[in-house]
Amino acid sequence: MNIVIIGGVAAGAKAASKIKRLLPDSKVSIYTDDTHVSYSSCGLPYYIEGNFKDYTALLVRSVEEFNKLGIDVYLKSRVDKILIEHKQVLVKDENNAYLVPYDKLIIATGASPLIPNISGINCKNNVFTVRKIEDGINIREKMFNSNHATIIGSGYIGMELLEAFVKNGLKVTVIEKNERIMSMFDDEISDLIKNRIESENNGNFEFLTSEIVSEFIGEDSVHTVKTLSGKEIQTDMVVICTGVKPNVEIARDAGLEIGVTGAIKVNKLMQTSVPDIYACGDCCEERHLVSGRSVWIPLGSTANKEGRCAAINAAGGVEQFEGVLGSAVTRCLNTTMSMTGLTEREASNIGFNPVSVMLEKHDKVGYMPEVGEIVLKVVADKITGMLLGAQAIGSIGADKRINSLTSALVAHMTVDEYSRNDLTYSPPYSPTIDPLINAMLMLQSKIQN
Amino acid sequence: MNIVIIGGVAAGAKAASKIKRLLPDSKVSIYTDDTHVSYSSCGLPYYIEGNFKDYTALLVRSVEEFNKLGIDVYLKSRVDKILIEHKQVLVKDENNAYLVPYDKLIIATGASPLIPNISGINCKNNVFTVRKIEDGINIREKMFNSNHATIIGSGYIGMELLEAFVKNGLKVTVIEKNERIMSMFDDEISDLIKNRIESENNGNFEFLTSEIVSEFIGEDSVHTVKTLSGKEIQTDMVVICTGVKPNVEIARDAGLEIGVTGAIKVNKLMQTSVPDIYACGDCCEERHLVSGRSVWIPLGSTANKEGRCAAINAAGGVEQFEGVLGSAVTRCLNTTMSMTGLTEREASNIGFNPVSVMLEKHDKVGYMPEVGEIVLKVVADKITGMLLGAQAIGSIGADKRINSLTSALVAHMTVDEYSRNDLTYSPPYSPTIDPLINAMLMLQSKIQN
């Protein structure tokens, strides 16, 4: 069995090692246009911040370690075309183009930063995106020679970089085209996130919302960022965090089906529309476990699971990947932001009849030292009582509540069922009545009325 | 409607305020032999430790606050007898004995420390238990004049006091009659708990396991604790933490049914064998949500829920309390210990066919600062694949994993179902693959074989 894997960051790397474990005699090769393989892209902001000094900590498995496992890794080797009829891929490296045959092909091409259409964006040596190891190294290096950084986009990575830059003494401007930062949350939660983060602001950062960057001014380097409304921000460096798009070009060219989300369509076996070709990770779409709809939520944890599932099936086994909840967490300074399932806005758009409650509670018993606050919003369907999603922000333990609810969402629990939960209690860990239980009791009376 | 509540710590206090909210015109009275009402008994070890200086922080609601709500509170007023036929209770206070009529009666008499049969135990002014506000005040005062403390019993409270005393500079001896400390956990977890706590030992505490205290030597004060094996421990104070027993005397005397566990038997409405009499909190037993059996697991969080449920039903509504998982958490020094559901030993005794996995993993991605370790044990039934329970020890976040599994246990999820969970991931919060998912994958292969 000869298995070719395109891409080797999370899904591809996971798939390779899983297949080799299942089929030790198989030939497993990873082709990637990247300079590194098997690394934690999610860790880049923490490397930039200086949580650890050596970027190699981000490397999960080196090329040599893959080789030891009997897996061949070809860096800077771009797969340019899939020749489905011939079961071959066309690879181009710095010097050559050559054909590689496969029995099974796994596409794990990932995603690429979405670059907004800004005048003067090209050829600027102080404009960065955050995706690859080099990006992290370059941003960190530039950061040490900068007094001001501009972050375009205020999603997870934008917020993580804000922390990184602030902790390294920079002044920061975050520019967001939406009305609110962290706009994947419901509006009132986004507002609270902003308030919380702003409460730690000593004049060293600013959020410009409802602002669209129109121009980068400067020769080799940007020195001024101009917005449509006419604002001009003097800056030493710019990082674009406006999201990512799935890398589906070679899949589309080969005629593989692309889903409604724009990512590669796969079944629960992670199989594309061509049986011997699998896709996994950020390049393919998933089923949402609450809505049942196709979604594209690229996350490292999902990529790992999909890589494992694709590998088992490619190796001749049977494994199904059921889908995702879009569970996510991050922090910015002392604020944890976490969510799972549907927001109220999403639930409404999809056609649920959402009811929600929002409450602010201590994260432990009030008399304990270092007591923090958690704001929890829980969304349920008024007709069925089914839990639909939750958002939590606040102290470090906010994500604990979300991870309790992910289980509930996977099990399709109702508010009544969850209200019977027996959560752990002790003064340093939670209030006597956990905020989750408070939320359920409040939801019950909203559903009954 | 005239409602009498016996006992006012957690369940009784909760029941009183809930009833008054539901039936503002009702007469609600709390009778208790205690000197305080509505307090956090679970917080006593943290008060003793000095996490907060003023014991009144432990008081959830004062007598005056109850009065303002229209609830009468009678302190140092012991209910001595329930006259079921006459719907009256006999109350004795310092001066009088008198009869109080009721329409509905709620028994929330709680539990009392179990005092081992030790020669010389009586009339010693430096021997304490940890249950009431005065206990906390007295122990804290004595602690400041002591160099060495002896803790008898190594359950949750024993471990919490160990932390409290060590942090206040005392030398401590913990004496445990079982072979292991924290023996409610499975043996291998208890061993790891001991190893972890011992790793923080700078010669200031010792565990004596398989040791039974035989004698307290001293006149007014104990100065030496002697064990059956002949050990003699010089000490300045002794705290007995050998568990509690439910206060069921007046219920039993009145002819109310006592359950197999020795606590008051109630149905899901928290109704005793006499319809107008309810019981809630540490004095009554519960149904275990996994095993379906009657259990007695006295915990503050459960008491609150039961008090609420009893109140709703006593007030004429309908509410069911389904049961408990025995979820618990505590910490000792830097070790978090948490569990839910059945241990492997319990599962086996009950007649399940348990399989289990135990794994040690980072609590966040390995390259993050302050990465900690979590040991997780998950137990499932080999025949049905149903999850039965879990135990986690380690860094502060260990309880996060348990609270995700409590939802799973309430929903009767199988290992396969839980393995589809989509937990949040970000480097400061968890590894890419959460230990919970690792555990499920390992369990799957154990169940399949």
Range A360-388 average pLDDT: 96
How much of chain A is in helix, strand and coil states, percent to nearest 5? 30, 30, 40
- C-alpha A238/C-alpha A253 separation (Å) is 33
Share of chain A above pLDDT 90, in %: 97
- C-alpha B71/C-alpha B22 separation (Å) is 13
For residue A187, CA distances in Å to A201, A249, A302, B268, B357 come to 21, 35, 26, 40, 42
Catalogue the active-site residues of A.
Answer: 42
Residue A437: list chain B partners with CB under 8 A.
305
Could you tell me the two tokens for B269?
């409405």
Q: Could you tell me the end-to-end alpha-carbon distance of chain A, in angstroms, rounded to an integer? A: 61
Instruction: Give the residue from chain B lying closest to A437, CA to CA.
Output: B305
Chain B contacts in chain A segment 106-145 (CB below 8 A) = none
pTM of the model: 0.96
Residue A424: list chain B partners with CB under 8 A.
301, 327-329, 338, 340, 399, 402-403, 406
- C-alpha A182/C-alpha A189 separation (Å) is 9
Query: If phi over 0 gives left and psi between -120 and 50 gives alpha, with beta otherwise, what is residue B319?
Result: beta
Confidence at residue A181, expressed as pLDDT on a 0 to 100 scale? 98
Rounded (10°) CA dihedral B397, B398, B401, B403: -90
Confidence at residue B397, expressed as pLDDT on a 0 to 100 scale? 85
Report the residue from A10, A51, A328 with minimal CB separation from B368: A51
Say if the Cβ atoms of B367 and A57 lie within 8 Å: yes
Distant-in-sequence, close-in-space partners of B262: CB < 8 Å, separation ≥ 6: B245, B246, B248, B296
B259–A contact, CB cutoff 8 A: no
Catalogue the active-site residues of B.
Answer: 42
Say if the Cβ atoms of A425 and B330 lie within 8 Å: no
Smallest Cα–Cα separation from B61: which of B37, B97, B32, B92?
Answer: B37
H helices of B181-278, in order, are 187-198, 249-253
Q: Collapse the DSSP code of A245 into the 3-class scheme (helix H, G, I; strand E, B; otherwise coil) and give the result.
A: strand
Q: To the nearest whole angstrom, how far is the Cα of B366 from the nearest Cα of chain A?
A: 8
Query: If phi over 0 gives left and psi between -120 and 50 gives alpha, with beta otherwise, what is residue A207?
Result: beta
pLDDT tens digits, A318-370 = 999 999 999 999 999 999 999 999 999 999 999 999 999 999 999 999 999 99
pLDDT tens digits, B295-339 = 999 999 999 999 999 999 999 999 999 999 999 999 999 999 999
How much of chain B is in helix, strand and coil states, percent to nearest 5? 30, 30, 40
Say if the Cβ atoms of A424 and B304 lie within 8 Å: no
Smallest Cα–Cα separation from A427: which of B134, B200, B376, B336?
Answer: B336
Residue A338: list chain B partners with CB under 8 A.
424
Q: Could you tell me the end-to-end alpha-carbon distance of chain B, in angstroms, rounded to an integer? A: 61
Q: To the nearest whole angstrom, how far is the Cα of A369 from the nearest Cα of chain B?
A: 6
DSSP label at A369? T
Smallest Cα–Cα separation from A106: which of A20, A10, A16, A9?
Answer: A16
CB atoms within 10 A of CB A310: 34
> Which amino acid is it at A236?
D
Report the residue from A10, A402, A407 with minimal CB separation from B408: A407
Half-sphere exposure of B138 (CA within 13 A, CB side): 14
CB atoms within 10 A of CB B234: 14
pLDDT (tens, 9 = 90+) of chain B, 449 residues, equals: 999 999 999 999 999 999 999 999 999 999 999 999 999 999 999 999 999 999 999 999 999 999 999 999 999 999 999 999 999 999 999 999 999 999 999 999 999 999 999 988 876 899 999 999 999 999 999 999 999 999 999 999 999 999 999 999 999 999 999 999 999 999 999 999 999 999 999 999 999 999 999 999 999 999 999 999 999 999 999 999 999 999 999 999 999 999 999 999 999 999 999 999 999 999 999 999 999 999 999 999 999 999 999 999 999 999 999 999 999 999 999 999 999 999 999 999 999 999 999 999 999 999 999 999 999 999 999 999 999 999 999 998 899 999 999 999 999 999 999 999 999 999 999 999 999 999 999 999 999 87
Q: Report angle CA B242, B244, B247 to the nearest 5 degrees.
A: 155
Instruction: Give the residue from chain B lying closest to A433, CA to CA.
Output: B301
Residues in chain A: 449
- C-alpha A331/C-alpha B430 separation (Å) is 13
Residue A371: list chain B partners with CB under 8 A.
none
Report the residue from B326, B331, B407 with minimal CB separation from A421: B407
Distant-in-sequence, close-in-space partners of A32: CB < 8 Å, separation ≥ 6: A6, A7, A8, A9, A12, A73, A74, A75, A76, A77, A78
pLDDT tens digits, B114-155 = 999 998 887 689 999 999 999 999 999 999 999 999 999 999
Range A119-131 average pLDDT: 90
DSSP label at B313? H
For residues A246-280, one letter each, b for 16 or more C-beta atoms within 10 angstroms of the residue's C-beta and e for the rest, the string is bbbebbeebebebbebebbbbeebbbbbbeebbbb
Residue A306: list chain B partners with CB under 8 A.
none
B22–A contact, CB cutoff 8 A: no
Rounded (10°) CA dihedral A417, A372, A377, B38: 50
Q: To the nearest whole angstrom, how far is the Cα of A384 from the nearest Cα of chain B?
A: 16
Tell me if B122 sits within 8 A of B218, measured CB to CB.
no
Mean model confidence pLDDT for chain A: 96
Beta-strand relationship, A2-6 and A27-31: parallel
For residues B174-188, one letter each, b for 16 or more C-beta atoms within 10 angstroms of the residue's C-beta and e for the rest, the string is bbbbeebbbbbbbee
B281–A contact, CB cutoff 8 A: no
Q: To the nearest whole angstrom, how far is the Cα of B219 from the nearest Cα of chain A?
A: 37
Distant-in-sequence, close-in-space partners of A405: CB < 8 Å, separation ≥ 6: A340, A341, A378, A387, A389, A390, A418, A436, B407
Chain B contacts in chain A segment 387-446 (CB below 8 A) = 397, 399-408, 410-411, 413, 417-418, 420-429, 432-434, 437
Confidence at residue B170, expressed as pLDDT on a 0 to 100 scale? 98
CB atoms within 10 A of CB B74: 19
Residue A305: list chain B partners with CB under 8 A.
433, 437
- C-alpha B412/C-alpha B422 separation (Å) is 18
B64–A contact, CB cutoff 8 A: no
A67–B contact, CB cutoff 8 A: no
Confidence at residue B123, expressed as pLDDT on a 0 to 100 scale? 67
Q: To the nearest whole angstrom, how far is the Cα of A385 from the nearest Cα of chain B?
A: 15
Answer yes or no: is pLDDT of A449 > 80. Answer: no
Say if the Cβ atoms of B327 and A405 lie within 8 Å: no
- C-alpha B18/C-alpha B313 separation (Å) is 11
A302–B contact, CB cutoff 8 A: yes
Smallest Cα–Cα separation from B164: which of B38, B57, B43?
Answer: B43
- C-alpha B396/C-alpha B390 separation (Å) is 16
Q: To the nearest whole angstrom, how far is the Cα of A235 from the nearest Cα of chain B?
A: 29
Confidence at residue A120, expressed as pLDDT on a 0 to 100 scale? 87
Say if the Cβ atoms of A425 and B42 lie within 8 Å: yes
> Which amino acid is it at A102?
Y
Say if the Cβ atoms of A327 and B424 lie within 8 Å: yes
Say if the Cβ atoms of A330 and B426 lie within 8 Å: yes
Q: To the nearest whole angstrom, how far is the Cα of B40 from the nearest Cα of chain A?
A: 9
Q: Which of A403, A412, A442 to mutate to test the interface with B (most CBs of B within 10 A)?
A: A403
Say if the Cβ atoms of A369 and B322 lie within 8 Å: no
Could you tell me the two tokens for A298?
């690229």
- C-alpha B404/C-alpha B400 separation (Å) is 6
Instruction: Give the residue from chain A lying closest to B332, CA to CA.
Output: A428
B170–A contact, CB cutoff 8 A: no
Tell the residue number behind the tokens 């292969």, with chain if given.
B445
B44–A contact, CB cutoff 8 A: no
Report the residue from B366, B402, B423 with minimal CB separation from A424: B402
> Which of A140-144, A280-284, B312-316, B392-396 is predicted with the least confidence, judged by mean pLDDT?
B392-396
Answer yes or no: is pLDDT of A397 > 90. Answer: no
Q: To the nearest whole angstrom, how far is the Cα of B368 from the nearest Cα of chain A?
A: 6
Say if the Cβ atoms of B368 and A426 lie within 8 Å: no
Residue A326: list chain B partners with CB under 8 A.
422
Report the residue from A325, A420, A424 with minimal CB separation from B329: A424
- C-alpha B401/C-alpha A406 separation (Å) is 12
Distant-in-sequence, close-in-space partners of B125: CB < 8 Å, separation ≥ 6: B220, B221
Beta sheet of A237-240, edge-to-edge order: A127-129, A237-240, A148-152, A171-175, A205-208
Chain B contacts in chain A segment 358-377 (CB below 8 A) = 365-369
Which helix (DSSP H) or strand (DSSP E) does residue B19 occupy? helix B11-22
Q: What are phi and psi of B352, to 5 degrees?
A: -70, 170
